[in-house]
Amino acid sequence: MLNPIIETQPNPYGFGHDWYLNVETTEGQKHFRLGQDVKVCSRMLGMTPKEVCDEIGSNDLRNEETRKNLGQFILNTLGICYEDEINNLQPWELSVD
């Protein structure tokens, strides 16, 4: 069972948001700081933010369902499908910074 969700926080530079991927598994929670939103889209996903929004069907990251869809999309894009793959990752291993 993988239940991913993206959390966002304004970054300290005053523009953009930092993304955090939180994944619930049967063994507990794993937390990953991904990085600035635009960098995650381009470096990790190889897409523009608009293309990512088109893929997940919304750009409203205040909506929990949208954040869940984005988390699942990121895992799928990275090819992470199993709990042991998540559980073996260190918190910094998915960072784009």
pLDDT in tens, 53-95: 999 999 999 999 999 999 999 999 999 999 999 999 999 999 9
Q: Which two tokens stand for residue 21?
A: 């991927």
Which pLDDT score is estimated for 44? 96
Q: What are phi and psi of 27, to 5 degrees?
A: -90, -5
pLDDT at 13 over 80: no
pTM of the model: 0.93
Residue 72's pLDDT is 97
Element (H or E) spanning 24, and its range? strand 17-25
